[in-house]
Structure 1
């Protein structure tokens, strides 16, 4: 009697078989739908927002075709045209100084005065001796004239005439010696006034007024440097000698510019004056001397300057900025942007480089757009976006450098 209700309860808890299958398929469909939705969601940013799939922003420069100046850079030293150490040729007391230190003086300008008194005394003594001998000479010549008259009258012997003639000649020699002594005394007196032998700028004085100075002292009285014009001496490698000599033999003036230590300011421009007669075997270089007018005193003796020598002008050269040139396993190349705004690789044969520009011998025709910035993300056939043309800015930079 009790077992029948229990069997009825078990049957009510058991689900039909069709219901279980339906639930299982619903779960599978929901999982598949969620996976598809997630996959599509993950693909959308890659296709629409990936930076690598977009065109590469680049700056380009048009290939230049103009005259290219080939420059040789060196370090030079400014040298005065003339350097004179003013020395006294006589000993004496320094009486007066007529210049100021650092003053620009002209040739022949009075610089110092040495006490002339001792030399005036010596001149007076020499002149007195000269006058004494002149009086003796006049007396001897008068006696000779009488002797010659008496000899014609046959009143005296020839020997007396000849003796008197010898005395006259002797006195003439003494008078000449006296004249030389007078001239020497005048010369010594003139040395007491010292004049500038050249025009230029004087340095610091080495003696003060009242000092006793000696003749030809090593220290001298003052130095004078001629700075108008002025020289700059520098050295170039010997392999540039033929190029430089060819230009000079044609009568061309080879331009040289002097720049400050930072190479930001051009101080002066000049021309090659001469080059040394031998190459330094220790360094393999040749010394060059250039002349600068230096009217504004921009160059100062013993100053160190950076030198740019315009050794050669390449007419109508195809050239691009050196920064645009890349080096790879196959050689040097550049990226260009074609008419479809896609990148292409051009292999190059290079010529001379100067002032940030490089001559292109082969590889470019002169009408291409060369990539200057943005090269890192480029590859052959990659689409590019030109964000700025660097032609204008580069041209202004070249003008400033020139």
Structure 2
């Protein structure tokens, strides 16, 4: 192709190229300005709307102040002990022929529980009886001789010395008969010891000696331990500051005691205080109480550790709230009350005893006022509250 045949294009002018670029930039700036203006307008309209919406009520537990009889209790830690406990031992030496109890068996006082070989003791009893019979025969003969000598002495055929000697012989034989009877009683007692009976009502423990073993009166271990657990005792300790209240309660009549599990705070049994010890331990500043419980369900067991609540008085018609409502602050105890408009308010209170999940309010509340019992950590005076759903 020749140069003369090429198509000739007109050169582009700079002005024609700048015009589309300026137009594009103008449109972009206008668009950004519109977006910014829309955002500002939206924020200006949204802010007043958010400011006027009230916060939702705080869900809390709500209870009511009411009047009720409230027991005043003294609490101590105690240990269960048998009402009676006996280590059954042999009182004679011999072979243990029979064991007549089962381990863990409930037995009654007087039940036969073991037998020791009685033959040696039976022989000793028989020998004592034989000596008694022998001496009785000798005494009978001596009395006949004395009677004869006494008649002969009246006729001067026997001397007074002979009569006196025979009288002494009779008296000696009578004393021997008394000694023989004592020997019989002793042998019979020894024989009775071969039959071992339970000295108390109670429950047997683990057998300590098996049949066939030789036992002795000096053995320290014994045959078995019998514990009386119906009723059963609990020895507990309370601070010496509670001594006056307990003494006053004991003077007024029976004092209730509750045995309470330390694991789940369940009431295991209810009994009475039997006595307060006659001294305060100077080392710990505590005094021991002995309480007795029927233990009909075997809920108490010797050696068990538990809590003992002793009722020293009862406050009649006291104003109370659930103990969870009570809060502590720099100025003392207070509760949150629910005002008529549904908001929380602080009410300073003066408290009495707190026990069993109930707090006695001496002043600061009125009967029937609603109080917050849970969820106080989210509250402040004037905050709206609502009852939390059950289980929430």
Q: TM-score, normalized by length of structure 1? A: 0.84
Name the CA distance, whole Å, in 2 between partners of 1:117 and 1:382.
Answer: 93
In the alignment, structure 1 residue 318 sits paired with structure 2 residue 322: no
Name the CA distance, whole Å, in 1 between partners of 2:139 and 2:245.
Answer: 74
Structure 2 partner of 1:245? 247
Structure 2 partner of 1:43? 47
Which of 225-234 and 308-317 deviates more? 308-317
Structure 2 partner of 1:298? 299
Whether contact under 8 Å (1:263, 1:306) holds in the other structure is: no
The alpha-carbon deviation at position 54 of structure 1 amounts to 3.6
The alpha-carbon deviation at position 178 of structure 1 amounts to 1.5
Which runs of structure 2 are paired with 1:146-165 in the superposition (5 Å)?
A: 146-165=148-167
Name the CA distance, whole Å, in 1 between partners of 2:148 and 2:86.
Answer: 60
* SS in structure 2 of the partner of residue 101 of structure 1: coil
Structure 1 partner of 2:210? 208
The alpha-carbon deviation at position 248 of structure 1 amounts to 1.2
Which of 116-125 and 255-264 deviates more? 255-264
The alpha-carbon deviation at position 34 of structure 1 amounts to 4.4
Which of 121-130 and 165-174 deviates more? 121-130
Structure 2 partner of 1:104? 106
The alpha-carbon deviation at position 375 of structure 1 amounts to 2.6
Structure 2 partner of 1:233? 235
* SS in structure 2 of the partner of residue 346 of structure 1: strand
Which runs of structure 2 are paired with 1:11-50 in the superposition (5 Å)?
A: 34=38, 37-44=41-48, 46-47=50-51
* SS in structure 1 of the partner of residue 377 of structure 2: coil
Structure 1 partner of 2:194? 192
Q: Structure 2 stretches of 5 or more lacking a match?
A: 1-14, 16-29
Structure 2 partner of 1:337? 338
In the alignment, structure 1 residue 348 sits paired with structure 2 residue 349: yes
* SS in structure 2 of the partner of residue 71 of structure 1: strand
The alpha-carbon deviation at position 33 of structure 1 amounts to 5.8
Which of 66-75 and 82-91 deviates more? 66-75
Structure 2 partner of 1:16? none
Which of 297-306 and 38-47 deviates more? 38-47
Whether contact under 8 Å (1:205, 1:221) holds in the other structure is: yes
Q: CA RMSD in A?
A: 2.6
Name the CA distance, whole Å, in 2 between partners of 1:288 and 1:86.
Answer: 28
In the alignment, structure 1 residue 80 sits paired with structure 2 residue 82: yes
Q: Deviations over 1:222-268 (max 9, x none)?
A: 111111111011111111111111111111x2211112231343221
In the alignment, structure 1 residue 288 sits paired with structure 2 residue 293: no
Name the CA distance, whole Å, in 2 between partners of 1:337 and 1:276.
Answer: 49
Q: How many residues align?
A: 365
Structure 1 partner of 2:374? 373
Q: Structure 1 stretches of 5 or more lacking a match?
A: 1-9, 11-25, 394-402
Name the CA distance, whole Å, in 2 between partners of 1:209 and 1:220.
Answer: 13
